[in-house]
Structure 1
Amino acid sequence: MKADDPNPGSPPDDAARHRPIRSFVLRQGRLTPAQARAMEELWPRFGLQPQGKPIDWTEVFGRDAARVLEIGFGNGEALAWAAAREPQRDFIGIEVHTPGVGRLLNALDSAGVSNVRLFNHDAVEVLQQDVPAASLDEIRIWFPDPWHKKRHHKRRLIQPAFVALLASRLKPGGLLHLATDWQGYAEHMWDVMDASAEFSNLAGPRAALPRPDSRPQTHFETRGQRLGHGVWDIVYRRLETPAAALPASQPKPP
């Protein structure tokens, strides 16, 4: 019970009872002077405010190109690297941690890239309200919080309802690239994803691919591998026709 609870001992109100489970703990942190300056000066160039209605990506980027969404980009190292490496594609990033957004803004400015737009907001709300249906060619979710304790597994981002939302925002044939360094979370990802009729694992049932060139290896990952830690790159393709809609005699497409 909070110390400032106006009704100590009273049952929770409707808002509290129906508050959605979050897959993250909001830690805004302290902005460095450089990050604060970036949020003030560079956000107008790269930032997007949720509008509560589908966004016209062609209008936002000034062109029609393949679009890649990264959810939970952290400090943005991988997103900045990808945008500079593939200028022919447009990149959208979503991150709730404001210092990471500020750091990425400075990196984008230093690299001179223009093919990135960012949300500093909850990914579920952005996907539900602002990302148009079938408008993305790829979605990347790399090293989401594994929520190790069993009682916290419900907070894991990869859940059936969220996967269905991701499928609706991907174009048919689009890719969902998941990566984790926790075997338990990899198993959970397979459990959820293989139960979806919308996706097919590129590596085969309950399998992972070698790290693709599109995902840079971080210093943290390199250190973990030296210690014997595994990393699982799990890549699914959005099916042209959901498997559930196929005749029973027709196998799930590869």
Structure 2
Amino acid sequence: MTEETTPGADAGEQAPHRGIKSYVVRSGRMTLAQRRGLEEVFPRLGLTLEQGRLDLEVLFGRRAPCVVEIGFGMGGSLLEQAQNNPETDFIGIEVHPPGVGKLLDDVDKAGLSNVRVYREDALRVLDDCLPGESIDTLQLFFPDPWPKKRHHKRRILQPAFIERVRRVLVPGGRFHMATDWQPYAEYMVETMNEAPGFETLAQDSDYVPRPDFRPLTKFETRGERLGHGVWDLIYRRCD
């Protein structure tokens, strides 16, 4: 999903991008629909780093709430949200070509105009493309937990990443995370509670019930049958 970079680049200034990646780009065959999404739809609905800092009102042709999802996988959840919330604009960020292609193909066939997609490293998008205080919600659903201790440094949720999220969220904006791995959920709580500028929306525990607006994935449905848990966390920018 992301590659560690130096935060705080000014608009129009490229920050140096290097460090530890929190994702692995997997190769594999693509279907005709996925290839169509990349080759035919991406030129219309895709975004690139070279476009620089976005003007969201110009990009979507309106002033509307904007949701960014990092690591949308095959795009099913993001597609459903966009269909159910036509009054909201959505930007998806994903590095895996089949997922990008599938989402774009599905979005185009559904005739949606409220979705744009980056096939880029999320940290570079946060640093170089998203204006400060422009995003209403940032979603991070089921990121790689990197369970082995020696790989914890690869986890996307690190203090520098959280500060990037805080920068792009509007005051009162929400950072919504979900994971199906309890040790990572506990790590998320610990890390977020130490981060300045955020407060949890959880009341009776560290977690919130799955909101109705987050679609239940096939993966979760199968996991529930097997007795697996899923933990949702929602924090609000409070500074």
The TM-score with structure 2 as length reference comes to 0.90
* 1:113 aligned residue: 112
Stretches (4+) displaced over 3 A? none
CA contact 2:67–2:89 (8 Å) conserved in 1: yes
Q: 1: CA distance between counterparts of 2:195 and 2:158? A: 10
Q: 1: CA distance between counterparts of 2:205 and 2:146? A: 21
How does 1:164-175 map onto structure 2 within 5 Å? Answer: 164-175=163-174
* 1:70 aligned residue: 69
Q: Alpha-carbon deviations, 1:58-101, whole Å to 9, x = none?
A: 11101110000000000000010000100000000000001101
Q: 1: CA distance between counterparts of 2:131 and 2:204? A: 30
- Which SS does the other structure have where 1:29 is aligned? coil
Q: Does 1:97 align with 2:79?
A: no
Q: 1: CA distance between counterparts of 2:28 and 2:124? A: 22
Q: 2: CA distance between counterparts of 1:77 and 1:142? A: 12
CA contact 2:36–2:105 (8 Å) conserved in 1: no
Query: What is the Cα deviation at residue 53 of structure 1?
Result: 3.0
Q: Alpha-carbon deviations, 1:8-49, whole Å to 9, x = none?
A: xxxxxxxxxx94101101224322222112211111221011
* 2:84 aligned residue: 85
Q: Alpha-carbon deviations, 1:154-177, whole Å to 9, x = none?
A: 111111110011000000000000
Q: 2: CA distance between counterparts of 1:206 and 1:212? A: 15
Q: Does 1:151 align with 2:160?
A: no
* Superposed CA RMSD: 1.4
- 1:198 partner letter: G
- Which SS does the other structure have where 2:24 is aligned? coil
> Does 1 or 2 have the higher relative contact order (CA < 8 Å, sep 6+)?
2
CA contact 1:79–1:93 (8 Å) conserved in 2: yes
- 1:39 partner letter: L
Structure of larger gyration radius: 1
- 2:60 partner letter: F
* 1:193 aligned residue: 192
Q: Percent identity?
A: 53
Q: Alpha-carbon deviations, 1:138-169, whole Å to 9, x = none?
A: 00000000111111111111111100110000
* 2:8 aligned residue: none
* 1:7 aligned residue: none
Query: What is the Cα deviation at residue 106 of structure 1?
Result: 1.3
Q: 1: CA distance between counterparts of 2:205 and 2:119? A: 33
* 2:215 aligned residue: 216
Q: 2: CA distance between counterparts of 1:69 and 1:26? A: 20
CA contact 2:139–2:177 (8 Å) conserved in 1: yes
* 1:22 aligned residue: 21
Q: 1: CA distance between counterparts of 2:104 and 2:120? A: 15
Q: Alpha-carbon deviations, 1:117-142, whole Å to 9, x = none?
A: 00001000111001111100000000
- 2:213 partner letter: S
Q: 2: CA distance between counterparts of 1:173 and 1:66? A: 13
How does 1:3-42 map onto structure 2 within 5 Å? Answer: 19-42=18-41
Gaps of 5+ in 2: 1-16
Q: 2: CA distance between counterparts of 1:52 and 1:113? A: 22
Q: 1: CA distance between counterparts of 2:52 and 2:89? A: 20
Q: 1: CA distance between counterparts of 2:79 and 2:185? A: 26
Gaps of 5+ in 1: 1-17, 242-254
- Which SS does the other structure have where 1:68 is aligned? strand
Please identify which structure carries the higher strand content.
Answer: 2
CA contact 1:52–1:129 (8 Å) conserved in 2: no
Q: Alpha-carbon deviations, 1:161-194, whole Å to 9, x = none?
A: 1001100000000000000000000011011100
The TM-score with structure 1 as length reference comes to 0.85
